[in-house]
Structure 1
Amino acid sequence: MNVIETYIEKCRAIANVVEAQQAQIQEAATLFAQTILTGRMVHLFGSGHSRIMVEEMWPRYGSFPGFNPIVELSLTYHNNVVGANGQRQAMFLENVPGLANRILRNFDISPADTALIISSSGCNIAPIEMAELLQLQGVKVVSIITKAHAAGSTSKRADGKKLGDFSDIILDTGAPLGDAMVHIDGLETPVSPGSTVGGVMLVNCIKAEVARLLTMAGKPPKVLSSGALVGNDKAVTLFESAYDEHAHRLSKLYAKLGYPSYVSGE
């Protein structure tokens, strides 16, 4: 096989790993659907390139409200690579203890909420602490990791705990240790990672099952859809109503946050 065929073949193997996790995917989707049906939100978090799965879940075509994408630019802004807002700083910050607590201070978390935390290695401090703190508040946590990579990596936490230690359900991207999947003659290190492929498949499998469950419960989701599919007027209505629903759900995370005031009605 040439290197292109090699990568495609390895992606097929990843698809097989995802398919073998249908029971866990359905379990995660059931938790998320229950949260959404109560009017609450599923919190999404990932540092580094795990942000890709957060934004894949919501908002984009084929997705719907009910999810709270927690995207910290200090942890996920890679465009400059070096200089101000560079990759070195982002990789440093995702291993600063206490940052997850500062992020969550912005939200009024409820045990009715659920969470999806993504970290291929499962070893960086920010996503681990995010899962730990959410569990302490009674939130069920689903994690997406790369099991082979997590098993072969060392946690950045002093106690050695990893994301899987604070997860109620663990899903595996199916990628290998080190993530990169293609070896090239004459090149010492492999290229072309696979965790994003598996991660995107997992979140969209979850999304599809959540949509089915919501529809079966009589609360079909407002799905962001292309005008080419549903017509321009319908597409505008879906987008506007979905964004409004997101705002209504999000308002519950702020209404009674922290110290009471006359504005919060307390």
Structure 2
Amino acid sequence: MVIESEYASMADGLVRRLVDTQLPAMRAAAAMVAECVAGGGVLQAFGTGHSRIVTLELAARAGGLAPVSMLAVKDLVMFGDEDPAAILDPKYERVSGLAERVYDLGGVAPGDLFLIVSNSGLNAAIVEMAHLVRARGHRLIAVTSLAHTRSTDARRSGGAHLADLADVVIDNLAPPGDAAIEVGQGVRIGAVSSLTGVLIAQVITELTCRHLLEMGQDVPVYVSANLAAGDAHNQTLTDRYGARVRPIEP
């Protein structure tokens, strides 16, 4: 018996729908990133849980922009004094007060731009970070699921969500709960947010680089460290941005 993949079929249509509906928002986000980079700023990318996949796609990778720093809850352990056991609790992102500690450890400069990724857009670390960066004068791009944010099943019923606080909102088109396919007996699988999130990250990167070229600016992009000239090229970017950009652990 041949078992067909509903996810593979869905993915094709989802990618097309994302481009059709979200390209204007991605263009607006890229223009903001290009302006930030041209002015000497850094894109600060923050997410929790699986949303870190999208921030990792933006930061410190071959073919990616060098002035992108990935902020994460794990920074509290790696650069702070938090007990590693604390952050192993998957509910830790709901704890109030984490955002300011992560922000303060990040070496954020006034001209930096923030991109926050959260499928639900409602946990404390995400919403508090969004409030914090707006209060400190940063512009904010949000990548989130508007379907989940607006769902009556969302756990956070009061107060703002991530989408309410951003200058630009990019909808990842994920359904509430993210799992898009029911395989039977009430079992739902097929997370969408990582698939569309990675596409969003790459489109923003491409459009940002094109903006920078049109502006007559240098385009600071990493190349693969596994190419002959990779290490030397990337070291020039490391020297240029220094501690402004966090290295990614192997």
Q: Secondary structure at the match of 2:111?
A: coil
* Structure 1 residues 74 and 4: alpha-carbon distance in aligned structure 2, compared to 1, 3 A threshold: farther
* Structure 1 residues 227 and 128: alpha-carbon distance in aligned structure 2, compared to 1, 3 A threshold: closer
Task: Provide the alpha-carbon RMSD of the alignment.
Answer: 2.7
1:72-104 deviation digits (Å, cap 9, x = unpaired)? 22799xxxxxx94675x132x211111111222
* Structure 1 residues 162 and 240: alpha-carbon distance in aligned structure 2, compared to 1, 3 A threshold: same
Deviation at 1:32, TM superposition (A): 0.9
* Structure 1 residues 250 and 193: alpha-carbon distance in aligned structure 2, compared to 1, 3 A threshold: closer
* Structure 1 residues 238 and 150: alpha-carbon distance in aligned structure 2, compared to 1, 3 A threshold: same
1:234-245 correspondence to structure 2 within 5 Å: 235-245=230-240
Does residue 71 of the first structure (1) align with residue 66 of the second (2)?
no
Question: Are the aligned partners of 2:225 and 2:234 in contact in 1 as well (CA < 8 Å)?
Answer: no
Structure 1 unmatched runs, 5+: 77-82, 252-266
Structure 2 length-normalised TM: 0.85
Question: Are the aligned partners of 1:145 and 1:172 in contact in 2 as well (CA < 8 Å)?
Answer: yes
Match of 1:261 in 2: none
Structure 2 unmatched runs, 5+: 78-83
Q: Secondary structure at the match of 2:28?
A: helix
Deviation at 1:154, TM superposition (A): 2.4
Deviation at 1:246, TM superposition (A): 3.0
Question: Are the aligned partners of 2:62 and 2:225 in contact in 1 as well (CA < 8 Å)?
Answer: no
Q: Higher Cα Rg: structure 1 or 2?
A: 1
1:55-85 deviation digits (Å, cap 9, x = unpaired)? 1001111112111210222799xxxxxx946
Match of 1:202 in 2: 200
How far, CA to CA, are the matches of 1:104 and 1:74 in structure 2?
10
Match of 1:255 in 2: none
Residue 195 of structure 1 aligns with an amino acid whose one-letter code is: S
Match of 2:165 in 1: 166
Structure 1 length-normalised TM: 0.80
Does residue 97 of the first structure (1) align with residue 92 of the second (2)?
no
Residue 203 of structure 2 aligns with an amino acid whose one-letter code is: C
Match of 1:191 in 2: 189
How far, CA to CA, are the matches of 1:139 and 1:165 in structure 2?
15
Match of 2:62 in 1: 61
Match of 2:145 in 1: 146
Match of 1:48 in 2: 49
Question: Are the aligned partners of 1:123 and 1:163 in contact in 2 as well (CA < 8 Å)?
Answer: yes
* Structure 1 residues 177 and 84: alpha-carbon distance in aligned structure 2, compared to 1, 3 A threshold: same
How far, CA to CA, are the matches of 2:63 and 2:145 in structure 1?
25
Q: Secondary structure at the match of 1:225?
A: coil
How far, CA to CA, are the matches of 1:111 and 1:240 in structure 2?
25
* Structure 1 residues 243 and 108: alpha-carbon distance in aligned structure 2, compared to 1, 3 A threshold: closer
Question: Are the aligned partners of 1:32 and 1:114 in contact in 2 as well (CA < 8 Å)?
Answer: yes
Residue 12 of structure 2 aligns with an amino acid whose one-letter code is: R
User: Identity over aligned residues, as a percent?
Assistant: 26
Q: Secondary structure at the match of 1:40?
A: coil
Match of 1:126 in 2: 125
Match of 1:232 in 2: 228
Q: Secondary structure at the match of 2:216?
A: coil
Match of 2:80 in 1: none
1:124-158 deviation digits (Å, cap 9, x = unpaired)? 1101110111011111110000111221142547x
Question: Are the aligned partners of 2:100 and 2:132 in contact in 1 as well (CA < 8 Å)?
Answer: yes
